[in-house]
Amino acid sequence: DAGITQSPRHKVTETGTPVTLRCHQTENHRYMYWYRQDPGHGLRLIHYSYGVKDTDKGEVSDGYSVSRSKTEDFLLTLESATSSQTSVYFCAISGGENYNEQFFGPGTRLTVL
């Protein structure tokens, strides 16, 4: 398995609180992504990064921000969590020769009450 970890794996929080999810990779891949997965929607891209300090918005970026200060870490922050952000969040990485192929982390289940 590609070396990707996500923390925390589960989190319950209350509406209005800030939340930060962490993705850590040991593959030295250039690209990192945050997705959310919801029933009926499949995976939707939130933000992605194409290098240290280089990030861009995805399809559903409202209410989320990201940061990447090191190659190995990509943080997703919900500045003020809402119930609509209850979801399973996946981090993915890609790079190297087969840069189209993505490797996924185990996911973080976030519940916003």
Q: Indicate the helix (H) or strand (E) that contains 96.
A: none
- Which of 57, 67, 86, 107 binds another protein (CB under 8 A)? It is 107
CB of 110 to another protein, least distance (A): 15
Query: Would you call 86 helix, strand, or coil by DSSP?
Result: coil
What's the token pair of residue 9?
């794996």
Q: Which stretch binds another protein (CB under 8 A): 10-18, 20-28, 34-42, 74-82?
A: 34-42
Pairing of strands 54-57, 64-70: unpaired
Nearer to another protein, 43 or 52 (CB): 43
Query: Would you call 19 helix, strand, or coil by DSSP?
Result: strand
Nearer to another protein, 19 or 46 (CB): 46
34 binds another protein (CB under 8 A): no
Tell which positions 59-88 bind another protein, by CB under 8 A: none
From the list 41, 23, 39, the residue with the least C-alpha distance to 93 is 23
CB of 19 to another protein, least distance (A): 20
From the list 40, 105, 31, the residue with the least C-alpha distance to 68 is 31
Residues that bind another protein in the complex, under the rule CB under 8 A: 4, 31, 33, 35, 40-45, 48, 58, 90, 92, 94, 98-107
